[in-house]
Amino acid sequence: MNSTLPENLVILEIANNHMGDVQHGINLIKEYSKVCKKYPHFNYAFKLQYRQLDTFIHEDFKERFDLGYIKRFQETRLNKKDFDLLVNCIKDNNNFAMVTAFDNESYNLIKKQPIDIIKIASCSFGDWPLLDSAAQLDLPIIASTAGANLETIDNLEKNSLDFYASVKSLYLQDRQRKILNTKTDATIEILYEGEWKELETQ
């Protein structure tokens, strides 16, 4: 697992702001890349969101445009070729390509693209099959805990050891802080270098 993240990393979230129009997405990347070049002491990652909507949305809900998220996802749908174009544009402008995948099918697409960084959404923090798919890739991972409760974080070591080990560098970089949910909990311990080594030999 390559857990090394670029230093001084700034993440630019595209999400669905391409509006389902690949050319609009390309224009976003190109224009913001111009701004990024003015600040060369930072590294920049443009982040996409992947959902394979044919299987991600339940069959009974695919036409439920009265539901905000389904309407948004369906109306901004892009295909594999479109995402290939966006990723290539990110790379052509000397940025890092980053993806949040919300389903296992999306990792099959990531494997075929020159993606640099994986993001785990906080809503997926307890999705063990998804975490294992992420851990199998030789890519650095940023995991958001914002929407994860403390029990889910604690269960990470028990249920997904590969992924737990893969985020080693994230914990070591910030080992003076406690893992936070909504408030400081003095009962949570930070793992230090020796403890990680012991874990990895198990």
- Comparison of pLDDT for 119 and 143, the residue scoring more: 119
Q: What is the pLDDT of residues 132-169, one digit of tens each?
A: 888 888 899 888 777 666 676 666 666 555 555 554 44
Is residue 4 one of the residues assigned to a domain? Answer: no
The answer to whether residue 185 scores a pLDDT higher than 60 is no
Tokens of 182: 């909504």
Residue 45, helix vs strand vs coil: strand
The answer to whether residue 35 scores a pLDDT higher than 50 is yes
Region 43-51: what's the mean pLDDT? 95
The contacts of residue 174 (CB under 8 Å, 6+ apart) are none
Tokens of 23: 């050319």
Is residue 2 one of the residues assigned to a domain? Answer: no
Is residue 46 one of the residues assigned to a domain? Answer: yes
Domain that holds residue 81: 9-200
Q: What is the pLDDT of residues 72-109, one digit of tens each?
A: 888 888 899 999 999 999 999 999 999 999 988 999 99
The contacts of residue 54 (CB under 8 Å, 6+ apart) are none
Is residue 123 one of the residues assigned to a domain? Answer: yes
| Entry pTM | 0.74
Is residue 22 one of the residues assigned to a domain? Answer: yes
| Number of Cβ atoms within 10 Å of the Cβ of 198 | 10
Tokens of 51: 């959902």
User: Distance between CA atoms of 191 and 44, rounded to whole angstroms?
Assistant: 29
User: Distance between CA atoms of 49 and 121, rounded to whole angstroms?
Assistant: 10
Is residue 1 one of the residues assigned to a domain? Answer: no
Q: Is 181 left (phi over 0), alpha (psi -120 to 50) or beta?
A: alpha
CATH assignment of the domain containing 15? 3.20.20.70
Sheet strands side by side (includes 141-143): 9-13, 43-50, 96-101, 117-120, 141-143
* Extended strands (E) in 2-51: 9-13, 43-50
Is residue 135 one of the residues assigned to a domain? Answer: yes
Region 1-24: what's the mean pLDDT? 86
Is residue 3 one of the residues assigned to a domain? Answer: no
The 8 Å CB, 24+ separation contacts for 75-79 are: 75/20, 76/16, 76/18, 76/19, 76/20, 77/20, 77/53, 78/18, 78/20, 78/22, 78/25
DSSP state of 123: G
Asked which of 70-79, 120-129, 184-193 is least confident by mean pLDDT, the reply is 184-193
User: Distance between CA atoms of 122 and 177, rounded to whole angstroms?
Assistant: 19
**How many structural domains are present in the chain?**
1
